[in-house]
Amino acid sequence: MTPMQKLLQLPVNAVNMVKTVQSQVQGFQEEAKSPVLTPDGGQQTWYNALQPDELRQLRSAGGGGLGGGGGAGDQEERAPLEEGGGITSGQTQLLRHDDLKEMLDSNKDSLKLEAMKRIVAMIARGKNASDLFPAVVKNVACKNIEVKKLVYVYLVRYAEEQQDLALLSISTFQRGLKDPNQLIRASALRVLSSIRVTIIVPIMMLAIKEAASDMSPYVRKTAAHAIPKLYSLDPEQKDQLIEVIEKLLADKTTLVAGSVVMAFEEVCPERIDLIHKNYRKLCNLLIDVEEWGQVVIINMLTRYARTQFLNPNVNESLLEEGGGGGEKTFYGSEEEDEEDVEDKETKVEAAAMAKRKPYVMDPDHRLLLRNTKPLLQSRNAAVVMAVAQLYFHLAPKAEVGVIAKALVRLLRSHSEVQFVVLQNVATMTIKRRGMFEPYLKSFYIRSTDPTQIKVLKLEVLTNLANETNISTILREFQTYIKSMDKDFVAATIQAIGRCATNIGEVRDTCLNGLVQLLSNRDELVVAESVVVIKKLLQMQPEKHSDIIKHMAKLTDNIQVPMARASILWLIGEYCEHVPKIAPDVLRKMAKSFTNEEDIVKLQIINLAAKLYLTNSKQTKLLTQYVLNLAKYDQNYDIRDRARFIRQLIVPTDKSGALSKYAKKLFLALKPAPILESPFKDRDHFQLGSLSHLLNAKTGGYQELPDWPESAPDPSVRNVEQEEVISTGEGRIGLLGDWREVPEWTKCSSREKRKEKKVEKPFYSDSEGESGPTESADSESDSASGSESGSGSEESGSGSESEESEDGSESEADEEDEEEEKEKKKKKKRASIKPVQQSESEQSSEEEEERNSGKKSKQRKSDSESESESDEEDSESESSQSEAESEDSESEAEVKKKKKVTPAKPTCKPAKKEGKKEKKEMSLLDLDDFEPAPSPQVTPVSTFLSNSLVTDLEGLSLTDSVLAPATIAPSSAMKSYELLHRITGEGLSVEYCFSRQPFSPDPHMVAVQVQFTNSAGSEAKNLHMEETKLQSGMRVKEFPEIEVLPAGETATVVMGIDFCDSTQAANFQLCTHTRKFFVSIQPPVGELMTPAFMTENEFKKEQGQLMGMNEITERLKLGDRCQSDHAIVQRVAAAANLSRVPCGSDKECRFAGRTVTSGSLVLVTVATREEGAAQLTVNCEKMVIGTMLVKDVLLALTQ
């Protein structure tokens, strides 16, 4: 934009000229384009650079001024937008669009970008930019990432309107779906699924299915997001989408969980059966899911739990009703109705109780409550609210209290948050008043609160009022009455009225207070008081004739119609109590009748009629006078009423039977109005929901189901669930895939699975039966076994009660062993495979990519997951991704073992199909193969024969108490990467902690380093240099390797004294040509050596390491490490400790000494019922202790 152009303004009449010029310009542009196509690079750039400027000059010359039309600067751009409906606006807009088109057609990215920015700005302001569609869509393949992004924005906005043109862009996205980069795949899917064009539904479906089995969790997450999009576009796809959802629900990563549950809620919330098998996993993942996902999952689980578990409050509610009778008496007139209902309820419940065993909480129910509780500490108000409603709807009454504190905390948040929270608190306080009583003062009102908040707080305070705190509350109310905010004052008076009705003791006080308010100067206050007093008096009028008299006097002063009407009604209703005053009031009213408001007039007629009936002597004439006045009133209601009443009360010849009953009609005993909270019974809506807030069912609201009525036998339910799980998993694991997933994904998953199976033994070989992982699902058999065994024995306390577990425990053990055996068999069968694997590792990169795409993919996922766990060992989430690989196998096993074969018939034909397509698939697979990012850890390769290791192990560990299986020597051999093949230019180096004593220096940790030369040429003079160490640390270098021929491996041992810290040792690894900076960081478990002691010694030492040196942690054992075996194995894998014999079978003890200082490290794992356990670590070095606790915890809980 040149300054000259900025100065120029667009004259109205110039527009047409400009347009003609522009068409010329376009012609010119077309001409100009042809040389652009020539291969001459220099010329091309020249054109590009010149074109826009030249054009502008041309045009500005032709138009005589083109500021607005040019629209290239911000100033000009904004001007036409603000013009609104001027004559020129339409034309200038057209003009500007032409200009934008031109910019979009140019070859310069910066121009395109500028144009796109302006277009997006137009969209943001809600201006129509749809006519630019053809010009924009062309740029969808633009290389510039920024332009591309903005084009996507545009596409998503306008594709619906220009369906045909939008199709042009599809191929770009399809290409994007195959990109090796997961982020690009994800964004392609995201945009593709956001384009609401019905024709591409099949393409979207394919893309979603493919992405659902993508190896990147991020892409899978995007797929989950895409499901509801497709569903809203074409609900007919529901069945297929449910299949995808089912598949994604089984996903083990936290990234996916929230999104897929969201999709579940939108597409098939009624398919609660899909949740069964994922329930425990979701519970366990919950804390690590991102906050928005947490909200969705918790809300869904609330609904789920309502269908699956028993009401934990059955017992309590019975007790409560018995004791609650005393409380109920305050409820005045409500009393009768409520008690009726409650009586019925009580009876029903009592009947049910008679049949039922004492309540025992389902362990799954407990799991949900336990795992959601920490989320009350979330910073996100929505999460806190979600947990709160879950507790409110699901928790035993005694435990609901914990949510109060968190909800009160939210009251410090933004006023909108307060608004919603208070609404929910108001509902809760009706059912569970005691919960919020300690926080009464937090609901006190400040003068600066917005009115709607004040009113809600008032509601809560009123609900919380009882005879003990009423005096404080009333004192507080007194200050509120003085507020400037009149709506609030009115609400306060009503609140006082409600307190008075509910709490008998203060009724008189309240009434007196309200009567005092009658002399308030503010009319609104007086009027509201009158109305409330009227309601109160209706309860016991005979006592309060003096108040009625007082109010009668007020008729002279009060002008608010509602208040006057209320007073008149009162006097009429209780005219017997004020026989002298009533006629006088009527006299006064008759005098002012014509000036009164309609509502007051009606009440005057009413009063007259009642007086006529009770005291006709004095009031006959007055009544007739009033009726006559009313007869000629302007308002037909009043005329009608007068006519009607005259007929009714004045006996004439014609008047029928009705007039006999006039007295009964008018002076019937009227029930006192019920003053109750508007929040009563709102809790049949799920709290925290929009429906609850609006007190009306909204679209898409899922009713909160009632608790299952008849108590389902828990063991039956468990078995049932087990079956569901096993069949479901079977489907997912092996059979289902063929049936459910389209052909082209079937194979890939099938193949992957096959691979996993093959690899699994390799894993389990190295890490023993347990491995570091545990799937939440596969626990079902062992866990449910113990559950069903114990269920009947548990006492009815509702909390996790003690139980004798011997029987169930051993059951689980047996099962475990069985599983183990099976696994071992498998291992043997497939024990050749690992070798191949390690070979492939050494093979050159290209080869690998070509031949073993799948393999490396597999490996990558392994390494990915493991590196995760490495990065943050304390974060439990990593376990989930690790679990992935092992899961399918165990699932399959479960299936086999159970011999549950509902899916079997489909199995065979599907298998064939799968095989047929295997080849096609691998081709496709290559497409989205992604080069593995440099993995930090690769699975252990089998270069060291396991036998050797065990041999060595045998030398150092002589404790005969230990069964050979209890120590997992190979798991200690988990190897870490020191130098990656690529960075090392063909030289890859791995190290592992061999757990051997380092003979040259006993204070050093032995590190076994393995060099693999996969480069083309030999490496020479491998040695280390320049160690950079923290103070105190020492390194014993390994002997130099003189020559390492291509393709060979060599292993050396070095010693490092880590000074009992997990600081890394840094040094340089040198070859004859290069130097590499590397570092070795030990896991804390490797900093110790086993120590041998007796039980007594152990106890003695432990006794000395109490207090600060003892760290105790409660944990829930992962379901696959319930047995002693597993525990020992896992602890041994996590730390280099030896087992100490122990008399109790409920405890496992381990001992060791740190390598450098020889400080004792004692670990005790005491198992409790139901997989609960307590881990105690005693260690002189507190840092080591805490870190070790973390590691062991992680190992045990997975």
Partner 1 sequence: MIHSLFLINHSGDIFLEKHWKSVVSRSVCDYFFEARENAGSPENVPPVLQTPHHYLISIYRDRLFFLSAVQTEVPPLFVIEFLHRVAEMFQDYFGECSEVVIKDNVVIVYELLEEMLDNGFPLATESNVLKEMIRPPTILRSVVNTLTGGSYIGETLPMGQLSTIPWRRSGVKYTNNEAYFDVIEEIDAILDKSGTTVFAEIQGVIEACIKLSGMPDLTLSFMNPRLLDDVSFHPCVRFKRWESERVLSFIPPDGNFTLMTYHVSTQNLVAIPVYVKQSIGFFESGSCGRLDLTVGPKQTMGKTVEGMMITIHMPTAVLSANLTATQGSHTYNPITKVLVWDVGKLNPQKLPNLRGSLSLQSGAPKPEENPSLNINLKIQQLAISGIKVNRLDMYGEKYKPFKGVKYVTKAGRFQVRT
Residues 505-534 that bind partner 1 (CB under 8 A): 520-522
Binding to partner 1, residues 151-170 (CB under 8 A): 153, 157, 160
* Out of 243, 740, 868, 891, the residue judged to bind partner 1 by CB under 8 A: 868
- Residue 1046, C-beta contacts closer than 8 angstroms, at least 6 positions apart: 1013, 1014, 1015, 1016, 1017, 1018
**Distance from first CA to last CA of the chain, Å, rounded?**
64
Binding to partner 1, residues 771-800 (CB under 8 A): none
Q: How far is CA 1123 from CA 910, 1120, 1148, in A?
A: 38, 8, 11
Binding to partner 1, residues 388-407 (CB under 8 A): 405-406
Minimum CB–partner distance for residue 704 and partner 1 (Å): 12
* Out of 64, 94, 105, 117, the residue judged to bind partner 1 by CB under 8 A: 117
* Out of 288, 737, 774, 882, the residue judged to bind partner 1 by CB under 8 A: 288
- Residue 259, C-beta contacts closer than 8 angstroms, at least 6 positions apart: 221, 224, 225, 293
Question: In this structure, what are the phi and psi dihedrals at residue 976, rounded to the nearest 5 degrees?
Answer: -120, 155
Nearer to partner 1, 57 or 452 (CB): 452
* Residues 1060 and 1087 sit within 8 Å (Cβ to Cβ): yes
What amino acid occupies position 249? L
| Residue 9 interacts with partner 1 (CB under 8 A): yes or no | no
| DSSP-derived secondary structure for 473-487 | HHHHHHHHHT-S-HH
| Residue 1064 interacts with partner 1 (CB under 8 A): yes or no | yes
* Out of 88, 91, 106, 259, the residue judged to bind partner 1 by CB under 8 A: 259
Nearer to partner 1, 232 or 1157 (CB): 232
Give the C-alpha separation, 633 to 627, whole Å: 10
Nearer to partner 1, 228 or 1118 (CB): 228
Question: In this structure, what are the phi and psi dihedrals at residue 935, rounded to the nearest 5 degrees?
Answer: -75, 145
| Residue 124 interacts with partner 1 (CB under 8 A): yes or no | yes
Binding to partner 1, residues 869-898 (CB under 8 A): 871-872, 874-875, 877-878
Nearer to partner 1, 230 or 626 (CB): 230
Nearer to partner 1, 377 or 1144 (CB): 377
| Residue 915 interacts with partner 1 (CB under 8 A): yes or no | no
Binding to partner 1, residues 1179-1198 (CB under 8 A): 1186
Binding to partner 1, residues 1088-1147 (CB under 8 A): 1113
Nearer to partner 1, 122 or 675 (CB): 122
Minimum CB–partner distance for residue 852 and partner 1 (Å): 24
Give the C-alpha separation, 882 to 777, whole Å: 14
Q: How far is CA 909 from CA 168, 239, 726, in A?
A: 39, 22, 21
Nearer to partner 1, 605 or 1134 (CB): 1134
Strands (E), 130-288: none
Nearer to partner 1, 591 or 697 (CB): 697
- Residue 221, C-beta contacts closer than 8 angstroms, at least 6 positions apart: 186, 255, 256, 259
Minimum CB–partner distance for residue 1114 and partner 1 (Å): 8
Burial class (CB in 10 A: 0-12, 13-18, 19+), 542: exposed
Nearer to partner 1, 168 or 402 (CB): 402
* Out of 15, 55, 123, 301, the residue judged to bind partner 1 by CB under 8 A: 123
| Residue 386 interacts with partner 1 (CB under 8 A): yes or no | yes
Residue with token string 């910019």 = 103
For residues 348 to 377, the per-residue mask of contacts with partner 1, x marking binding by CB under 8 A and - elsewhere, is --------------------------x--x
Nearer to partner 1, 371 or 790 (CB): 371
Minimum CB–partner distance for residue 591 and partner 1 (Å): 27
Minimum CB–partner distance for residue 589 and partner 1 (Å): 27
* Beta partners for residue 1050, in sequence order: 1011
Give the C-alpha separation, 1042 to 1020, whole Å: 5
From 143-151, 575-583, 584-592, 805-813, give the range in contact with partner 1 by CB under 8 A. Answer: 143-151
Nearer to partner 1, 229 or 717 (CB): 229
Which of 227, 211, 292 is CA-nearest to residue 254? Answer: 292
Give the C-alpha separation, 798 to 787, whole Å: 15
* Residues 509 and 495 sit within 8 Å (Cβ to Cβ): no
Nearer to partner 1, 377 or 999 (CB): 377
Structure tokens at 1123: 């047995």
Minimum CB–partner distance for residue 338 and partner 1 (Å): 30
Handedness of CA 811, 817, 821, 827 (dihedral sign): positive
* Out of 143, 446, 654, 670, the residue judged to bind partner 1 by CB under 8 A: 446
Give the C-alpha separation, 714 to 722, whole Å: 12
Q: How far is CA 78 from CA 67, 83, 357, 880, 1046, in A?
A: 12, 9, 75, 53, 68
| Residue 53 interacts with partner 1 (CB under 8 A): yes or no | no
From 99-107, 450-458, 918-926, 987-995, give the range in contact with partner 1 by CB under 8 A. Answer: 450-458
* Out of 58, 94, 121, 830, the residue judged to bind partner 1 by CB under 8 A: 121
* Out of 9, 934, 1030, 1104, the residue judged to bind partner 1 by CB under 8 A: 1030
* Out of 335, 416, 546, 1026, the residue judged to bind partner 1 by CB under 8 A: 416
* Out of 292, 625, 707, 1092, the residue judged to bind partner 1 by CB under 8 A: 292
Give the C-alpha separation, 156 to 159, whole Å: 6
| Residue 659 interacts with partner 1 (CB under 8 A): yes or no | no
CA dihedral 19, 23, 29, 30 (to 10 degrees): 160
Minimum CB–partner distance for residue 452 and partner 1 (Å): 6
For residues 473 to 492, the per-residue mask of contacts with partner 1, x marking binding by CB under 8 A and - elsewhere, is ---x--x--xxx--------
Nearer to partner 1, 725 or 776 (CB): 776
Nearer to partner 1, 2 or 797 (CB): 2
| Residue 451 interacts with partner 1 (CB under 8 A): yes or no | yes
Nearer to partner 1, 346 or 413 (CB): 413
Residue with token string 């997989």 = 1171
| Residue 936 interacts with partner 1 (CB under 8 A): yes or no | no
For residues 211 to 250, the per-residue mask of contacts with partner 1, x marking binding by CB under 8 A and - elsewhere, is -----xxx---x--xx-xx--x------------------
Give the C-alpha separation, 371 to 1127, whole Å: 23
1129, HSE (Cβ side, Cα atoms, 13 Å):
26
For residues 672 to 711, the per-residue mask of contacts with partner 1, x marking binding by CB under 8 A and - elsewhere, is ----------------xxxx-xx-x-xxxxx---------
Residue with token string 């749809």 = 130
Strands 1110-1116, 1172-1179: pairing is antiparallel
Minimum CB–partner distance for residue 212 and partner 1 (Å): 16
Binding to partner 1, residues 172-191 (CB under 8 A): 181-184, 190
| Residue 721 interacts with partner 1 (CB under 8 A): yes or no | no
Give the C-alpha separation, 235 to 226, whole Å: 13
* Out of 17, 32, 36, 120, the residue judged to bind partner 1 by CB under 8 A: 120
**At how many degrees (to 10) do helices 743-767 and 833-842 cross?**
100
| Residue 254 interacts with partner 1 (CB under 8 A): yes or no | yes
Strand, helix or coil for residue 874: coil
Which of 935, 922, 932, 810 is CA-nearest to residue 867? Answer: 935
| Residue 326 interacts with partner 1 (CB under 8 A): yes or no | no
Which of 782, 769, 887 is CA-nearest to residue 827? Answer: 769
Give the C-alpha separation, 1196 to 1190, whole Å: 10
